[in-house]
Amino acid sequence: MKVSRLAASGALAGAAVLALSGPAFAHVSVQPEGTAAKGGYAVVDFKVPNERDNASTTRLEVTFPADHPLASAMPEPMDGWKIQVTKSKLAKPLDLHGEKITEAVSKITWTADGKGIEPGYFEKFPVSVGALPEDAEELVFKAVQTYDNKEVVRWIEVQQDGQEEPENPAPVLTLSAASEDGHHGSTAAKDASDKTTTAASDSAVTSDGTDTTARVLAVVGIAVGALGVAYGVLAGRRRTDA
């Protein structure tokens, strides 16, 4: 009896864990390929799982943050999907490599021209974005997922501090600290360059020292040789006079 009760309790606990973790796992999310550093560029993947057993995901619409517009957002071509990029005028132009940007991507829409994401599968939708803002800790991308049975799931709820996760949370991209290099070369590279220059200078000093020593020895050798020749000539004359 005790064993049966323990088994039943374990099964219920396991089911509860799965029930709690299942929805979180199934959320539409966004993650960088590598890091997404403030002020830099990154490739981010919008991961879209199919939550239905009897329908396929055939459309994904991602809205880009208006409070931190991205000057560049380029989706990667994907087999089986048509991609539409929507741009909007900016209230305040952005400066990108010295060029004024007056519009930015406000939305990207992927529409399946085949089977889409079938039940039991997920797919990643890569986008190259930048420059990432330097004055934000995260970016919120609201997403709308549409199934071939016309069902629409809106992943647009923003997580509030101190509150439980909403039922349909919006994908959030967490930004890491700005890299030291920025766009002008890293400190590590500069240090390496400095070390190379120092090493070259040291090598030059060593080479100069070696050359100087060699020259001194050569002069001494010539002088000694000259003295030997002179001594030999004098010795010869003495013998002749004798």
Q: What is the pLDDT of residues 102-126, one digit of tens each?
A: 999 999 999 999 999 999 999 999 9
Inter-residue contact 32 to 44 (CB < 8 Å): yes
In this predicted model, which residue has the larger pLDDT, 165 or 146?
Answer: 146
State the pLDDT at residue 7.
Answer: 46
* Token pair belonging to 97: 């490599």
Residue linked to tokens 């509030």: 160
Residues in the chain: 242
State the pLDDT at residue 110.
Answer: 98
Q: Output the CA torsion sign for 164, 171, 137, 188.
A: positive
State the pLDDT at residue 128.
Answer: 97
End-to-end CA distance of the chain: 135
pLDDT mean over 189-193: 34
State the pLDDT at residue 96.
Answer: 74
State the pLDDT at residue 180.
Answer: 64
In this predicted model, which residue has the larger pLDDT, 14 or 166?
Answer: 166
**Measuring CA to CA, which residue among 71, 67, 72 is closest to residue 136?**
67
* Token pair belonging to 83: 């991609």
State the pLDDT at residue 25.
Answer: 54
Taking the C-alpha atoms of residue 182 and residue 97, their distance in angstroms, rounded to an integer, is: 12
Residue 55 has pLDDT above 80, yes or no: yes
Percent of the chain with pLDDT over 90: 52
State the pLDDT at residue 209.
Answer: 45
State the pLDDT at residue 70.
Answer: 93
Residue 100 has pLDDT above 80, yes or no: yes
pLDDT-wise least confident of 2-6, 26-30, 62-66, 156-160: 2-6
* Token pair belonging to 111: 């529409």
State the pLDDT at residue 221.
Answer: 52
pLDDT mean over 204-226: 45
Taking the C-alpha atoms of residue 225 and residue 215, their distance in angstroms, rounded to an integer, is: 15
In this predicted model, which residue has the larger pLDDT, 187 or 99?
Answer: 99
Question: What average pLDDT is seen over the chain?
Answer: 75
- Which residues does 137 contact at the CB level (< 8 Å), separation at least 6? 174, 175
